[in-house]
Structure 1
Amino acid sequence: MTQIATARWPGIAHAPRTPLKAHAAKAILKPTVNRVPVRLTFADGNTWGAGSPDSPEMRIVRPRAFFARLGSETKIGFGEAYMAGDWTAGEGTDLAELLTPFAERMATIVPVPLQKFRVFVDKKLPHHQRNSVNGSRKNIEAHYDLSNDLFAEFLDPTMSYSAASFEGPEQELEAAQLRKIDAILDDARVTAGTRVLEIGSGWGALAIRAAQRGAKVTTITISTEQAALAEQRFAEAGVDVDLQLVDYREVTGQYDAIVSIEMIEAVGEEYWGTYFSTIDKLLAPGGRVAIQAITMGHHRYLATRNSYGWIQKYIFPGGLIPSLDAIDQTLDEHTSLTVTNRRSLGQDYARTLRHWRDAFNANWAAINDQGFDETFRRMWEFYLAYCEAGFVTGYLDVFQITMSRPAEG
């Protein structure tokens, strides 16, 4: 067993001592998993699940710790148990393929009579993760400022950290990322001379592509690490881009095109109205907006919007995935904008995530040399596989959404 650094991972190094909750978790999980086509295998030879010998295997390494975590933190403990090594995918089982049957049954995996107890296990987003101006900076720093070198080990050369758009089964990830960017720029009608505002710079790929079209590009970010590398990449590409280290709420001016790729997930429901009304205020007459947004079904959004889960605790502090209905409602209530087109890239995201996970695992030695430990590796492996399963099953989707003012087309 790999030693877990207690100071760095206090909630992972030691399993909670909650025997009653652990017993309850075990009693609930067994009949639940017996309806899922997987195999849960234990060291004593016991097997749970409705799977055949060829089905994905979930190997329970330390049952006592596994059930204690699951019982103590229902929505967080499953992922924490994987981080701790309390369970793992069996030999020959891919982690995303193991998680897929659970993702397919996400809405029904908890028996209906027990769903009324959700109120007792759901925790609200901690106050320190609210996406105020200062809170947003801290939340973004927690993920995007980990290390540019880390992201470079698993992203493609464009350094795009969002869903690609694949033209066919043979297309490489880099080409698919450029195809995604070009589609957003086309939707926003970005050409020579267009005044473009990009909300969320990433590492600069879209800004470079827009500037190469001859557009006048302003891009904003609150990640100092991303800004530093983006500036370097602008210089290497020989493009003139105005990069500003500011929050979207602090932007002024008028723009013919406003683009934003997978930014809304970090805005927070409390600030969706502010986000879209700011876009509306900054958009020049006749302008167009094109965003890329991860979404979930409206019924799932309503069921999870006030809860705090593993992804928010360990990966994206303050994050919340909207539904298309929630976006439409926010636009109606806070802006003069209306949606004119939507394009789904859900299955493309599953494929993108598989590329990232394969590269992350293949380059783990180099990542490890940067100071990231085994617990971090398992955390990111779980995160990437968990998201892949969500997109494969349609539990999650991602859309390129175009908006304009109705009278202007």
Structure 2
Amino acid sequence: MSTTDAGPHNAGFHEVSSDTVAARPMSPWQDVPCAPHAPLRAAAAGRLFRHAVRRLPVRIALAGGERLGAGGPAAPLMRIERPTEFFHRLGVDGKIGFGEAYLAGDWSSPELTELLTRFAAQLPSLVPAPLQVLRRWVDATRPESERNTVSGARSNIHRHYDLSNEFFAGFLDETMTYSGAPLEPGGDLEAAQLSKLDSMLDLAGVRAGTRMLEIGTGWGSLAMRAARRGARVTTITLSEQQRRLAVERVRAAGLGDVVDVQLRDYREVDGRYDAVVSIEMIEAVGWEYWPSYFATLDRLLADGGRASVQAITMPHDRLLATRDSYTWIHKYVFPGGLLPSVRVVERNVEVNTGMTLAERRCFGPGYAETLRCWRERLAERHADVAELELGEALPRVWEFYLAYSEAGFRSGYLDVWQFGLHKAARR
């Protein structure tokens, strides 16, 4: 996820220039694969699923009358409408199959986020420990084409962020900021997003005269916020649609002479900057390139400079266990993505940079609220999404994705951190 800034909006979608509609990426959302046929795997998946949910505080109702789960009458309900297809998908493709079964309508829930939160809270123990050692033979592996090489990263970013500027404008707030905010229940999302942007600029010490680099433009909100402080900003993105719209926003704001929006990989940037800011871009780097990412921050930051990085994090042990897995999120939403852990950030700063980790703050519950707002806005604009003709499955893909992500934060499985990094002045 990333940051952006948009202008006025109507009752449906924010207005975006027709010039921003470029060729859209090939989408997996046109249809959902048919359920595979694998009786032995389906039988094994059925036994494993029944074992996993027997103590979960949920209610699971299978067509035919079978009832599972340990939840009472108020517990979230999962209806397995087509058990045969559900267990065949689960048996053949595990994590991907569970999500695809939802897209296909094999199962449903009137309380999707609450249900997924219960699953997320027990995620490390859903599969018995003796069977977890089989992960490398059971989990699908990531396609070589989705590694975040310079060319691979461009392709991965294109598939997500070049989906449609109008689509993102339909559920983001006035600032069009696509990253987590420290939002309180009942709070104002736009105000929370602006507070987040200011927090990141403060961590990096951005003020009048600062030469600032932003890694991950989004649609321009952070760059413009920094420019209004008096900074001169270079901001880079790999998304053609995002760059085009960001340039329009910057010019409309009268900031074209102090904000330079470039289509460039972070590894290709030269120069020295007083401040470097990167909001939720590290998730698209890939574990084998994290050392290069942090070394690049260090290389581009002038002596005495400061950097700020906002990152969605997962537990370190789960990162080690799953970093090579190919999941539903990779297939349908974020190819090449991987969340770091706090330990990964700490270790890379220590080993691959001359910087020190000076400050940190987290606001996981606020991200859950951010996702709830996005999910509700998207649901309200279902008809507008359909008019974009991005594929019949897309609304259901994003409903599941946003609910799945929100469940991760509500359960505490995921968190989001802002890290402040300092580079000592040379004596």
Scaled by the length of structure 1, what TM-score is found? 0.95
Summarize deviations over 1:352-383 as a string: whole Å, max 9, x none: 00000000110110011100344111111110
Distance 1:160 1:8, change over 3 A: closer
Distance between the aligned counterparts of 2:260 and 2:139, measured in 1? 43
CA contact (8 A) 1:273 1:334 kept: yes
Paired letter, 1:114: L
Contact 2:31 2:391 survives alignment (8 Å) = no
Residue 289 (structure 1) shift: 0.4
**Greater alpha carbon shift after TM alignment, 26-35 vs 354-363:** 26-35
RMSD in angstroms over aligned alpha carbons?
Answer: 1.6
User: Which residue in 1 is equivalent to 2:14?
Assistant: none
- TM norm structure 2: 0.91
1:153 alignment partner in structure 2: 170
1:393 and 2:414 are equivalent in the alignment:
no
Change (3 A) 1:408 1:32: farther
Give the whole-Å Cα distance in 2 for the aligned partners of 1:184 and 1:247.
21
**Among 35, 47, 56, which residue is 1:15 paired with?**
35
Name the residue aligned to 1:322.
340
Among candidates 348, 353, 378, match of residue 396 of structure 2: 378
TM superposition shift of 1:77: 0.6
Task: Tell me, yes or no, if the aligned pair for 1:75 and 1:121 is still in contact at 8 Å.
Answer: no
Deviations 1:267-307 (A, max 9, x none): 11111111111111110111000010011111111111121
The residue aligned with 1:203 is 219
Match of 2:3 in 1: none
Shift of 1:235: 1.6
How many angstroms apart in 2 are the aligned matches of 1:14 and 1:169?
40
2:298 counterpart SS class: helix
Map of 2:152 onto structure 1 = 135
Q: Deviations over 1:81-116 (max 9, x none)?
A: 111111010xxx321101011100011111222222
Cα distance, 1:122 vs. partner? 2.3
User: SS in structure 2 opposite 1:21?
Assistant: helix
Distance 2:187 2:209 in 1: 31
* Pairing of 1:9-408 with structure 2 (within 5 A): 12-89=32-109, 93-166=110-183, 168-240=184-256, 241-406=259-424
The residue type paired with residue 168 of structure 2 is F
- Aligned-residue offset at 1:408: 7.2
Indicate conservation of the 8 Å contact 2:185/2:369, yes or no.
Answer: no
Aligned residues of 1:349 and 1:391 also touching (Cα < 8 A):
yes
Q: Which amino acid aligns with 2:219?
A: W
Q: Distance in 2 between matches of 1:169 and 1:43?
A: 37
Size of the aligned set, in residue pairs, is 399
Q: Which consecutive unaligned segments of at least 5 residues does structure 1 have?
A: 1-6
How far did residue 124 of structure 1 move? 2.6
CA contact (8 A) 2:305 2:424 kept: no
**Aligned AA for 2:38?**
T
Letter paired with 1:27 = R
Distance 1:283 1:148, change over 3 A: same
Structure 2 runs not aligned, ≥5 long: 1-26
Structure 1 stretches of 4+ with a deviation exceeding 2 A read: 7-13, 168-171, 405-409
Aligned partners of 2:165, 2:31: CA distance in 1, in Å?
Answer: 26
| Cα 1:163–1:138 shift into 2, 3 Å | same
Judged with a 3 Å threshold, the aligned counterparts in structure 2 of structure 1 residues 51 and 22 are, in CA distance, closer, same or farther, namely: same
For the residues of structure 2 that align with 1:49 and 1:385, how far apart are their CA atoms? 20
Q: Aligned with 2:360: secondary structure?
A: strand
| 38-47 or 337-346, which deviates more | 38-47
Query: Contact 2:304–2:424 at 8 Å: present in 1 too?
Result: no
Where 1:271 maps in the other structure, the secondary structure is: helix
